[in-house]
A and B are shown apart, each in its own frame.
Chain A
Amino acid sequence: MDWQGQKLAEKLMEILLMAFAVASFVVGYAIGSFQIMLLVYASGVLLTVLITVPNWSFFNRHSLNWLDPAEAGRHPKSQATVLPSSKKKTSKLK
Chain B
Amino acid sequence: MHSFGFRANAVVTFAVTILAVVCAMASLSDNFNVPSPTAGVKVLNINWFQKQPNGNDEVSLTLNISADLQSLFTWNTKQVFVFVTAEYETPQNALNQVSLWDGIIPSKEHAQFSIHTTNKYRFVDQASHNNLRGKDFNLTLHWHIMPKTGKMSADKIVLTGYHLPNEYR
Residues of A participating in the B interface, judged by any CB pair closer than 8 Å: 1, 6-7, 9-10, 13-14, 17-18, 21, 24-25, 28-29, 32-34, 37, 41, 45, 48-49, 52-55, 94
Contact = CB atoms under 8 A, between A and B. Distances in A.
Interface of B: 1-2, 4, 7-8, 10-12, 14-15, 18-19, 21-22, 25-26, 29, 74-76, 148
20 contacts: A1-B1, A7-B1, A9-B7, A10-B10, A13-B11, A13-B14, A17-B11, A25-B22, A25-B26, A28-B26, A32-B75, A33-B75, A34-B75, A41-B19, A45-B11, A49-B8, A49-B11, A53-B7, A53-B8, A94-B2
Contact of A6 (B1, B4, B148): B1
A13 B75 contact: no
A37 B22 contact: yes
Q: Which of B19, B25, B75 has the largest number of chain A CB atoms within 10 A?
A: B75
A49 B25 CA distance: 24
A11 B76 CA distance: 32
B22 A13 contact: no
Contacts, number: 60
A94 B2 CA distance: 9
Contacts of B4: 53-55
B1 A41 contact: no
The 3 A-B pairs of least Cβ separation, nearest first, read A6-B1, A32-B75, A45-B15
A17 B18 contact: yes
A23 B75 CA distance: 16
A47 to B, nearest CB: 11
Contacts of B2: 1, 6, 94
Contacts of A49: 8, 11-12
A32 B76 CA distance: 8
A53 B15 CA distance: 13
Contacts of A48: 11, 15
A52 B7 contact: yes
A45 B26 CA distance: 19
